[in-house]
Structure 1
Amino acid sequence: MANYTAADIKALRESTGAGMMDVKKALDEADGDLSRATEILRVKGLKGVTKREGRSASNGLVRAHVDGGVGTLVEVNCETDFVAKNPKFGELADQLLDQAVAVGATDADALLASELDGKTVKEVVDEANAGLGEKIEVRRVARVEAQEGGHVVSYLHKTNPDLPAQIGVLVAATGGDAQVARDIAMHVAAFAPSVLSRDEIDAETVEKERRIAEETAREEGKPEQALPKIVEGRVNGFFKENVLLDQAFAKDNKKSVAQVAQEAGTTVTGFARFKVGV
């Protein structure tokens, strides 16, 4: 029988994040040598990376960092909620966020291609993939910068109290105070707008919505003379669903986000929102 103790098993599990049976097998193979067992787990785990590439990583977390007028948002995915709440996975996410901030990454590809301690970040993620025994991926990275004199706020929301934050928001604004911007960030988390203002929606999309609204109204047998008003109302409804500034504000649905911001002397200049797996 290999010469190792329950304390050795615990230490190896904590250092690698590997499962109980994998740790025991590695210790058996290494005859109780912790260093060799760690190598065995790493090699076996890395061999499994390609096998896991096609698997779905729909769990995970979102991390945010704000420094003055710049905010960074990172979504890191895994396969199960068990790994999502593993401290090793959280430490990896923190490391990836720090790296994204350091290199000014604006997307996942830029972050993965950057170098960290003599390796690419992709190699670091592959090693974590091996150690944790699941497909781990950096799904998205966003960088939001405020205009001159402005500020960025972040908001992280837990959809499950037992898991890390799975919704993350950055909002850039000028004027007003940080609390108003934070209230708007909370609104973004809840209502998931796709764009900041109407002019960010291309004309082809708007025309498609207008056509669908008209065809639907005709199918419903609406009178011909009422169609223009009905179509306009439904297109405006599309805007109110998708455009942040047009949405009814979460804390006062009698006002739009644009009205709330204007009354507070705030101009929202940009935002980013991630929800894990969406």
Structure 2
Amino acid sequence: MASVNMADVKRLRELTAAGMMDCKKALEESEGDFDRAVELLRLKGAKDVGKREARTASNGLVAVKQEGDSAAALLELNCETDFVAKGERFQQLAAEIVEHILTTRPADVPSLLESELAGRSVKEHLDEANAALGEKIEIRRFSVLEGGYIGVYMHKTDPQLPPAVGVLVQLDTANAEVAKDIAQHAAAMAPKYLDPTVVPGEVVEKERSLFEEMTREEGKPEAAIGKIVEGRINGWYKDFTLLEQAFVKDNKKTIKKYAAEAGVKVLAFTRFKVGQA
């Protein structure tokens, strides 16, 4: 059995919220393979492992810029400490970059870094901030939604810090109340995908394989395994796809049903939380 060091155990614990000894045993059994260690913890029923496995320890903020009701950009800008995150210079940099994103619509982060902002590249602005603030400052991700009606919700997890959660919701027709409700729901419930049709096939197959292994570990009859696995896949959709989630304000209906009853369709959403996938 492979030996593991405490730094690896601590990292796995931060990623999964499982117990220290459970993390140590999972790493030993997986011979140091982190992905397999996470799966082993899930197989053993560690609480919330599936929902917490993508967590990281980054600091920073989420910034937004709107253009009327039909376009908005969302940005996650990271730093090393919350001290820098609550500073005026860091927040001003984020505001300038997210406005630039909405104006220029870059294709991806590398394109954004190469683009010109106030006579210099965005990367040069980040380098200057790195030097001035004494920390690594980096753009983790951004999103632009355009068309229909865009609702925005920004949430502070600490009143002394800038927003750490931001959500954009795109509806086919204007409805401020519904957009706000769904955005707040997404902020709280952390869906990863809009609906089951957009979940990547490899993600579904990985979950199906894990659920099959889990079901066999439980000693279920062979003839029932397929049906049980599909039931667990459907349960996974209800946890991780926005439209299949139970609405937090009325758990008797899904978000899809809530939107339909209001006469609107949810076209897309983006949810960023600092330090989470």
Q: Report the aligned-residue RMSD.
A: 1.8
Distance 1:203 1:95, change over 3 A: closer
Shift of the alpha carbon at 1:209? 2.5
User: What is the SS of the residue equivalent to 1:160?
Assistant: coil
Percent identical pairs in the alignment equals: 52
Mapped partners of 1:115, 1:60: distance in 2: 23
Mapped partners of 2:208, 2:132: distance in 1: 52
Mapped partners of 2:156, 2:219: distance in 1: 45
Shift of the alpha carbon at 1:62? 0.7
Q: TM-score, normalised by structure 1?
A: 0.74
Mapped partners of 2:79, 2:205: distance in 1: 39
Shift of the alpha carbon at 1:83? 0.8
Q: Who is 1:60 aligned against?
A: 60
Structure 1 or 2, whichever has the larger Rg, is: 1
Matches within 5 A, 1:156-195: 156-175=154-173, 177-195=175-193
Structure 2 counterpart of 1:253, from 216, 230, 251: 251
TM-superposition CA deviations, 1:131-168 (whole Å, max 9, x none): 1121111111111123xxx2111111111111000111
The amino acid that maps onto 1:251 is K
Shift of the alpha carbon at 1:212? 2.6
Mapped partners of 1:69, 1:165: distance in 2: 22
Q: TM-score, normalised by structure 2?
A: 0.74
Contact 2:149 2:174 in 1 (8 A): no
Task: Find out whether 1:240 has 2:241 as its counterpart.
Answer: no
Mapped partners of 1:127, 1:208: distance in 2: 42
User: What is the SS of the residue equivalent to 1:272?
Assistant: strand
Q: Who is 2:49 aligned against?
A: none
TM-superposition CA deviations, 1:96-117 (whole Å, max 9, x none): 1121122123432222211122
Q: Who is 2:76 aligned against?
A: 75
Mapped partners of 2:57, 2:214: distance in 1: 38
- Structure 1, unmatched stretches of 5+, are 1-55
Mapped partners of 1:276, 1:105: distance in 2: 21
Structure 2 counterpart of 1:153, from 135, 145, 151: 151
Contact 2:64 2:95 in 1 (8 A): no
Mapped partners of 2:174, 2:111: distance in 1: 33
